[in-house]
Amino acid sequence: MNDSDNSSRVRYLVVGEEADGQRIDNFLLNRLKGVPRSWVYRVLRRGEVRVNKGRVKPTRRLHIGDQVRIPPLRLAESAPIPGPGAGVRRRIEQAIVHEDDDLLVIDKPSGIAVHGGSGVSHGVIEILRALRPQARYLELAHRLDRDTSGLLLVAKRRSALVQLQKLQLAGRVEKRYLALLAGRWRQDHKTADAPLRKNTLRSGERVVRVDPAGKDAVTHFRVRQRLRGAMLVEARLETGRTHQIRVHASHLGTPILGDAKYGDANVEALAREADLKRLFLHAWRLDFPWEGKKGGYRLEAPLPTELQTVVDTLK
């Protein structure tokens, strides 16, 4: 059976080893190529998708042998979204910095989301699947904000994704970022230990605030270079909350340059002076152990040219 066929009848798929432990929403998105995300979540909400004859939530994880019922795709709903253009495909292909049997690592450009949705037709994962139509399995192992550049891990096997998830839960994936903060600290090291809470404004915009009722969040900062009106710092995460580095930097009184959401007028002025046109936040290094690989992984991605130029300007 062709999973991407716009069928007008009910279909049944049996879960194989490659999808063991995968969420039902990701399972459907991966197999129904071109079908809008909105359709997938709508039929899940209505109970039209069944697993072993029972209704399921989008977060339900599948197991080998599960039978998944897929409802008919109505032509009006199932018109395929045009695939990613040649230009963005080329950018992502050129951004691959490492690949082996388990992992594919991207130095993600700023301005590209990691996945489609919320008005974004294609993210990194959809572009990769378009580039590698023969790949049986490609799943994001973690996420980066759309405006953040740097290292992004993609699992090529279900077993690799599970191993990465376990390592992250155990705090054994060390993530380091480079950020340009406005202002100056007397000391070279600072730790932000402030709980964070997500809020959604009436407009639908998501904003994160420091809030005692929020989730624990810890970021360690180290000054690498002092510049005119700013500091190039390395940020090491203990936790991985939404917008964590951006909010913690602002909480310390030194927002990230180029941050329109959590910055201020002084930050905007300095960014204009340095001709900075994006958020200055880059995921530059990842360290983690790996079963069967002596020494584990140490992956690095230097600052993009446009960010290094800003550093040189403010020296």
**Positions marked active-site:** 145
Answer whether 193's CB lies under 8 Å from 245's CB.
no
Nearest to 30 by CA among 126, 116, 156, 127: 126
Q: DSSP of 182-224, one letter per residue? A: ES--SSSEEEEE--EEEEE-TTS-EEEEE-TTSB--EEEEEEE
| Type of residue found at 268 | E
Strands 149-155 and 281-290: parallel
Helix 124-131 and helix 86-94, axial crossing angle in degrees, nearest 10: 90
Handedness of CA 31, 37, 43, 45 (dihedral sign): positive
Whether residue 267 contacts residue 179, with contact meaning beta carbons closer than 8 Å, is answered with no
DSSP 61: B
